[in-house]
Structure 1
């Protein structure tokens, strides 16, 4: 079975490098215009409840049923949401959080470990149900944080959390079978994709 682990399209917060977190920020006009319909046709797409993910799924998979998974919302960055690192370079709470390699609790938000657990706890039952039902693909449209959490825990080859933030409108294609999953709990990366218009203006997914 193939798993498509995808990230939403571009927002103004992405361009300005602001922490979006659980803020319900829409796609920017440019971000929406960049996206193209995907070349796969799933019956269902499991989506974050946030509008940037749902709108991206609308464009990439216009015929698919969207199934909202609340725990696929992005990590809550608390008081850091809406701000970027330049605006917070002298903020003692931000300095302390970064000094802990962003592992501590964002004031008013989540710890990375808690976020990773809720993401993976939502992902595993979907994966196991798809394997049990003999599905050919499992498609998830969510956020960079969700990609990082799942890939760090289960992805092969092994890399740390921050390696795995995919591009806007793209992400990772993984492969797994029931025996491998139940014996090893690993997912093999086979391809990186991005469903955006190419630099020459032509349509077609970009392969990383």
Structure 2
């Protein structure tokens, strides 16, 4: 139906830093070898989607290229993961006795990591990116945008626009998987919640 916009939010593949459970926000890390090899077995037709958008970080762009080849995506820095500041590249074991880290864990939505982003700043940035995507979609008539981004970004957008209400941390967003949110075009324009939600994973026949 021309009135429906199906937005796919997809998380990049597992990286070396993800593998060792380190905080990975604005720092980048290559996809781990096993993940890159697994993703290289998939090759999906561009025609499944009419707009490609990606975070500017290489782990997102690499995942997109492995799945679809050359797509010439719109690249938005607003779709980056949260900036974890001095916690970047460190694991829980390395941080558990750091006072600032303990404060952040207790007050995740209000306390900013030193040299990093508060949740409010992160949310404002992601909102700006979402508004740009909406503008592309509504002005150009796109119906099937594919957005390659990060776990925190996807959780935030699900928390705000899903038709299922959950707490931020209750959303499951594994690597190399995501969600499809379907909106009416008018509902998308008005900033309403989606009318349907579907989890998506990689299959031999595509993303579904």
What TM-score does the superposition give when structure 2 sets the normalisation length? 0.88
Say whether residues 1:37 and 2:43 are aligned partners.
Answer: yes
DSSP-derived class of the 1:82 partner? coil
Q: Which residue of 2 aligns with 1:147?
A: 154
User: Contact (CA 8 Å) 1:50, 1:73: kept in 2 or not?
Assistant: yes
Deviations 1:97-147 (A, max 9, x none): 111135310111000111011112111231243134322211110101110
1:100 maps onto 2:107 in alignment:
yes
* Of 179, 187, 194, the match for 1:180: 187
Contact (CA 8 Å) 1:167, 1:194: kept in 2 or not?
no
Q: Residues of 1 paired with 2:197 and 2:17: CA distance?
A: 30
Partner of 1:68: 75
User: What secondary structure is seen at the aligned counterpart in 2 of 1:195?
Assistant: strand
Out of 25, 29, 37, the residue aligned to residue 25 of structure 1 is 29
Moved more, 113-122 or 2-11: 113-122
TM-score relative to the length of structure 1: 0.88
Q: Distance in 2 between matches of 1:191 and 1:38?
A: 19
Measure how far apart 1:158 and its partner are.
1.3
Contact 1:116 1:150 in 2 (8 A): no
Asked whether 1:58 is paired with 2:65, we answer yes
The 3-state SS of whatever aligns with 2:93 is coil
When structure 1 is superposed on structure 2, of 170-179 and 180-189 the one drifting more is 180-189
Give unmatched runs, 5+ long, in structure 1.
Answer: 197-202
- Aligned partners of 1:206, 1:12: CA distance in 2, in Å? 24
- What do you get for the CA RMSD once the two structures are aligned? 2.0
CA displacement 1:71-115 (0-9 Å, x = unmatched): 111110000000111211111111111111353101110001110
Q: For 2:191 and 2:86, how far apart are their aligned partners in 1?
A: 38
Aligned residues: 201
Residue 48 of structure 1 and its aligned partner are, at CA, apart by 0.7
Q: Which moved more, 1:120-129 or 1:179-188?
A: 179-188
**Alpha-carbon distance between aligned partners in 2 of 1:23 and 1:84, rounded to the nearest angstrom:** 14
Larger mean CA deviation between 151-160 and 70-79 belongs to 151-160
Bigger shift: residues 120-129 or 107-116: 120-129
Answer yes or no: is the 8 Å Cα contact 2:138–2:189 preserved in 1.
no
What CA distance in whole angstroms lies between the structure 1 residues aligned with 2:35 and 2:143? 29
CA–CA distance in 2 between the matches of 1:38 and 1:147? 22
